[in-house]
C-alpha cells in the first residue's frame, strides 16, 4: 500500500510538471497582467475562517458524546495547532497531536482523536454528496458515478445507524477497552450539515479568491460549481496519504477541474491552483503557530 502511494504521488508530480511546462508561455504572460483585488481576497480569507469555526464547533459537539466538553476557544486552539500535523506525510499526525494536546487539558486523548476521526468521515461523505449534487461531470464514468452516489447519499441517510458500528470496529482493531459513546442522532445530523456548510463556505471563498486573482471577466460559472471543484480536489488530496496536506494532488485536481467545468482557462486554472496553495497554507499555518504559542490550555469541564 505504501509503495502504491509513493508511485501515485510520483505520477502526480510528474503530471504536474508536464502540465505546467506545456502551458508555461501562457502562464508567464498571464502572471504579468495579474492585478490582485486585496479587499476581495480579504473577504475570501474571512470566509475560510468562518469555515474553520464551523468545523471546530462540529468537533466539539461530537466530542461531547464522550462526556467531554471543551470551551470553544480551547477547542479552537487545539484544533488549529493539531492541524499543522497534516503537513507531515501520512495525514495522521494531526490526530496524534490532537490527542496529546487534548490530554494536556485533562480531556481524554482517545475521545479527542476518535471524535476527530468521526468528523473527518462525515466531512468526506458530505463532500462527496455535494460534488455529486453540484457537478456530476467530475465523475467521468456512469458506473463510478452511480456507485459513489449510492455510497455518499446512502451514507448520509444511514449515518445514525452505521456510526455505532464504526466505533465498535475501531475499538476492536485497536484492542482497547474503551467506552463506546452514544452519539445522538441530532449530533450526527449536525455534523453532516456542519461539514457540508463548511464545504460551501470553502467553495465560496475559493470563488472569491479566483476573482481576486484573475478578475471578474476571467472567472465564469456559478458558485456551486466552484464548491464542487474545490471539494473534489481537496478530497482527492486528503485521501492521498503520502502527500503532506495533499500538496500537488489538490493542485492537479484544481487545474483539471476548473477548465472541465468551464470556470477558467487551463492557464488561469494553473495560476489559481498554485497561488491558492500559498494562500491556504498561510491561513492554516499562521493560526496553528499562534495556537502553539498560546501556551497551556485551560482544563475542560466534563458533563455529568
Question: Per residue in 5-24, pLDDT tens?
Answer: 445 445 545 555 555 555 55
Domain residue ranges in the chain: 37-293
Better-predicted residue by pLDDT, 206 or 172: 206
Q: Which has the minimum average pLDDT: 141-150, 203-212, 238-247, 261-270?
A: 141-150
Is residue 239 very low, low, confident or very high in pLDDT (cuts 50, 70, 90)? confident
pLDDT digits (tens, 9 = 90+) for 39-75: 999 999 999 999 999 999 998 888 887 777 888 888 8
Q: What are the two backbone dihedrals, phi and then psi, of residue 297, each rounded to the nearest 5 degrees?
A: -105, 150
Better-predicted residue by pLDDT, 260 or 141: 260
Better-predicted residue by pLDDT, 180 or 102: 102
pLDDT digits (tens, 9 = 90+) for 189-221: 788 889 999 999 999 999 999 999 998 888 998
Distance CA 96, CA 51 (A): 23
* Predicted pLDDT at 231: 94
* Predicted pLDDT at 248: 75
* Predicted pLDDT at 297: 44
Q: Please check whether residue 148 is in contact with residue 132, taking contact to mean a CB–CB distance below 8 angstroms.
A: yes
Instruction: Output the pTM of the full model.
Output: 0.78
* Predicted pLDDT at 20: 52
Q: CA torsion sign, 82 to 83 to 88 to 94? A: positive
Helices 109-134 and 185-214 cross at an angle (nearest 10°) of 60
End-to-end CA distance of the chain: 44
* Predicted pLDDT at 53: 95
* Predicted pLDDT at 120: 81
Apex CA 141: angle with CA 136 and CA 142, to 5°? 75
* Predicted pLDDT at 286: 87
| Most confident region among 135-149, 159-173, 265-279 by mean pLDDT | 265-279
Report CA-CA distances (Å) from 43 to 48, 71, 76, 228. 9, 27, 21, 20
Q: Compute the mean pLDDT over every residue in the chain, rounded to the nearest whole number.
A: 75
- Of 128, 124, 120, 106, whose CA–CA distance to 62 is shortest? 120
Is residue 78 very low, low, confident or very high in pLDDT (cuts 50, 70, 90)? confident
Within 10 A of 64 (CB to CB), how many other CB atoms are there?
Answer: 19
Amino acid at each position: 500500500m505504501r509503495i502504491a502511494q509513493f508511485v501515485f504521488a510520483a505520477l502526480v508530480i510528474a503530471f504536474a510538471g508536464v502540465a505546467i511546462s506545456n502551458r508555461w508561455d501562457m502562464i508567464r504572460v498571464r502572471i504579468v497582467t495579474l492585478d490582485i483585488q486585496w479587499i476581495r481576497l480579504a473577504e475570501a480569507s474571512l470566509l475560510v475562517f468562518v469555515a474553520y469555526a464551523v468545523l471546530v464547533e462540529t468537533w466539539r459537539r461530537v466530542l461531547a458524546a464522550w462526556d467531554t466538553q471543551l470551551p470553544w476557544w480551547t477547542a479552537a486552539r487545539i484544533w488549529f495547532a493539531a492541524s499543522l500535523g497534516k503537513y507531515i506525510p501520512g495525514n495522521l499526525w494531526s490526530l496524534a497531536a490532537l490527542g496529546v494536546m487534548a490530554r494536556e487539558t485533562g480531556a481524554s486523548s482517545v475521545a479527542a482523536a476518535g471524535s476527530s476521526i468521526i468528523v473527518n468521515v462525515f466531512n468526506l461523505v458530505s463532500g462527496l454528496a455535494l460534488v455529486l449534487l453540484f457537478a456530476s461531470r467530475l465523475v467521468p464514468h456512469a458506473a463510478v458515478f452511480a456507485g459513489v452516489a449510492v455510497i455518499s447519499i446512502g451514507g448520509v441517510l444511514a449515518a445514525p445507524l452505521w456510526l455505532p458500528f464504526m466505533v465498535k470496529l475501531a475499538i476492536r482493531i485497536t484492542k482497547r477497552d474503551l467506552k463506546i459513546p452514544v452519539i445522538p442522532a441530532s449530533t450526527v445530523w449536525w455534523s453532516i450539515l456542519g461539514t457540508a456548510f463548511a464545504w460551501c463556505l470553502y467553495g465560496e471563498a475559493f470563488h472569491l479568491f479566483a476573482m481576486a486573482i484573475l478578475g471578474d471577466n476571467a472567472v465564469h460559472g456559478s458558485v456551486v460549481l466552484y464548491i464542487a471543484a474545490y471539494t473534489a480536489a481537496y478530497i482527492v488530496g486528503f485521501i492521498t496519504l503520502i502527500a503532506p496536506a495533499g500538496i500537488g494532488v489538490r493542485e492537479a485536481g484544481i487545474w483539471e477541474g476548473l477548465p472541465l467545468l468551464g470556470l477558467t482557462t487551463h492557464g488561469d486554472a494553473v495560476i489559481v491552483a498554485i497561488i491558492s496553495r500559498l494562500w491556504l497554507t498561510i491561513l492554516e499555518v499562521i493560526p496553528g503557530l499562534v495556537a502553539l504559542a498560546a501556551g497551556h490550555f485551560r482544563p475542560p469541564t466534563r458533563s455529568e
